[in-house]
């Protein structure tokens, strides 16, 4: 039987499909209009920064005014802004519209995340979040896969198509169906209760921030690098799709494993591997090398995201607040990363930006380890 949650999963798929096409078009269009690396960094950061800042508020608003209305309003705002982006050839206006796009989008994600987290915990929550993450990640995978093709056909269509998709999403949000009443199936692996008071939630937040910032900065600079290397928009989009496919593998794999809920060291190792992959991106020259890097970083980004969203909802009673904070961390990281990488790229070149992103991620990993070690020494607990 079709349920309200099934509608939410489908809307999650459509939303990130539209966001992938729109964000690809926004950044690629700016690069073709002659934007500098620093300008591209600001452009990519503006909309996601506005999203992160507004998510802190919109999640709490949905706690009070209801998930459905806040999500629908956000979709309608985003639809109008996406269509308007097709009407300008000025980078400055694209930045302004990006701010409005991010603000509108903040009405959707925190509300939907909180909606899915209501009334469940433990295995049921993990199962719902896995379905949710697979859904939005499939949207990104398909979106990036077709974004380059649509853009090469018509850059105007690459803005108008997402606008139409968001109108459809707003319509679907009006559909009222019964909520899922049965408990979600438990994970294949026996469920392991996360240790309380051992720094899992805060470490997951820091990891999500660090990975999102580093990959956001490196990914944004890759648009310019791809243009310089003569990589077509369709191939550029396909590479991004590879990363999303790898993230989906991570989501499904984490549902079948329980180690990540009771051990922190795998998360640290994963981030270190991602740092090495980003560093390699700075010196790679062949297409297959870029594909490998996007696959590896996609796996790690999926791990960090899932850990963050799970612990945010598992340990927070106000789901809108928890979902909003998780999304705010994601948004602020993806804002800071492109800006910093753009500044470094403008001064020391695009390759230097990748070295910077890799080093920054490495510093965050060490910081997480130190914070957890100090906290557990103070409490007399042995680090995991």
Question: How many other C-beta atoms can be found within 10 angstroms of the C-beta atom of residue 172?
Answer: 14
Confidence of residue 122 (pLDDT cuts 50, 70, 90): confident
pLDDT at 43: 81
Residue 180 pLDDT: 60
Distances (CA, A) of 19 to 30, 54, 116, 150: 16, 17, 21, 14
pTM, two decimal places: 0.77
Higher pLDDT, residue 129 or 185: 129
Structure tokens at 304: 């960090």
**For residues 134 and 137, what is the distance between their CA atoms, to the nearest angstrom?**
5
Placement of tokens 């100090």 in the chain: 374
> In the Cβ-directed half-sphere of 234, how many Cα atoms lie within 13 Å?
5
- Cα 352 to Cα 217, 296, 301, 355: the distances in Å are 12, 20, 22, 5
The 3-state DSSP class for residue 185 equals: coil
CA dihedral sign, ordered 325, 328, 330, 333: negative
Measure the CA dihedral 143/144/149/155, to 10°: 80
Statement: residue 363 has pLDDT above 80: yes
The pLDDT, as a whole number, for residue 167 is 95
What is the per-residue pLDDT for 32?
80
Whether 188 has a pLDDT exceeding 50, the answer reads no
pLDDT tens column, 330-362: 888 888 888 888 888 878 887 888 999 999 999
Predicted confidence (pLDDT) per residue in 35-75, tens digit? 776 777 778 778 888 998 898 888 888 888 888 999 999 99
Q: What is the pLDDT of residue 360?
A: 94
Instruction: State the average pLDDT over residues 227-241.
Output: 77
Q: Which pLDDT does position 182 carry in this prediction?
A: 45
**N-terminal to C-terminal alpha carbon distance within the chain:** 43
pLDDT of residue 186: 46
Three-state secondary structure string covering 97-143: HHHHHHHHHCCCHHHHHHHHHCCCCHHHHHHHHHHHHHHHHHHHHHH
Residue among 309, 294, 355 nearest 145 (CA): 294
Q: Which domains does the chain have, with CATH numbers?
A: 4-178+193-379 (1.20.1250.20)
* Angstrom distance (rounded) from CA 73 to CA 70: 5
Of 179, 261, 255, 216, the residue nearest 52 (C-alpha): 216
Q: pLDDT higher for 268 or 183?
A: 268
In the numeric block, which tokens belong to residue 269? 């190792």
Number of Cβ within 10 Å of residue 265's Cβ equals: 12
Question: What is the per-residue pLDDT across 106-115, written as a single tens digit (0 to 9) for each?
Answer: 999 899 988 8
Report CA dihedral (95, 305, 354, 286) to the nearest 10 degrees: -100
> What pLDDT shows up at residue 315?
65
pLDDT at 162 over 80: yes
Which pLDDT score, from 0 to 100, does residue 232 have?
77
3-state helix, strand, coil in the chain (%, to 5): 80, 0, 20
Q: Would you call 64 exposed, middle or buried from its count of C-beta atoms within 10 A (0-12, 13-18, 19+)?
A: exposed
Which string of DSSP letters, residue by residue, matches 198-215?
Answer: SSHHHHHHHHHHHHHHHH
pLDDT at 1: 63
The answer on pLDDT for 295 being more than 50 is: yes
């Amino acid at each position: 039987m079709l349920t309200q949650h099934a509608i939410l999963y489908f809307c999650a798929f459509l939303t990130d499909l539209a966001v992938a096409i729109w964000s690809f078009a926004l950044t690629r269009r700016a690069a073709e209009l002659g934007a500098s690396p620093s300008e591209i960094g600001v452009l990519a950061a503006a909309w996601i920064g506005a999203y992160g800042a507004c998510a802190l508020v919109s999640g709490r608003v949905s706690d009070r005014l209801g998930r459905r209305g806040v999500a629908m309003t956000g979709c309608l705002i985003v639809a109008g802004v996406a269509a308007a982006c097709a009407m300008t050839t000025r980078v400055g206006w694209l930045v302004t519209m990006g701010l409005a796009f991010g603000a509108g989008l903040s009405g959707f994600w925190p509300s939907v995340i909180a909606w899915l987290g209501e009334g469940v915990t433990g295995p049921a929550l993990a199962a719902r979040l896995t379905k949710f993450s697979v859904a939005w990640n499939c949207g990104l995978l398909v979106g990036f896969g077709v974004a380059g093709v649509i853009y090469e056909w018509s850059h105007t269509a690459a803005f108008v198509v997402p606008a139409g998709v968001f109108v459809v999403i707003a319509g679907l949000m009006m559909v009222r169906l019964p909520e899922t009443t049965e408990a979600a199936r438990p994970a294949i692996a026996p469920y392991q209760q996360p240790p309380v008071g051992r720094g899992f939630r805060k470490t997951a937040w820091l990891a999500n921030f660090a990975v999102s910032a580093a990959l956001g900065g490196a990914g944004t600079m890759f648009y310019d690098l791809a243009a310089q290397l003569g990589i077509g928009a369709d191939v550029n989009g396909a590479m991004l799709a590879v990363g999303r496919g790898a993230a989906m593998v991570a989501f499904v794999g984490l549902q079948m494993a329980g180690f990540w809920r009771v051990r922190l060291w795998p998360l640290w190792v994963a981030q270190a591997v991602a740092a090495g992959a980003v560093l390699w991106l700075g010196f790679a020259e062949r297409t297959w090398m870029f594909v490998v890097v996007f696959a590896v970083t996609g796996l790690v980004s999926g791990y960090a995201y899932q850990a963050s969203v799970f612990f945010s909802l598992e340990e927070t009673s106000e789901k809108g607040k928890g979902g909003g904070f998780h999304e705010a961390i994601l948004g602020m990281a993806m804002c800071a990363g492109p800006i910093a990488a753009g500044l470094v790229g403008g001064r020391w070149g695009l390759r230097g930006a990748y070295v910077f992103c890799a080093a920054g991620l490495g510093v965050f990993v060490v910081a997480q380890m130190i914070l957890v070690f100090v906290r557990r020494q103070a409490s007399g607990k042995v680090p995991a």
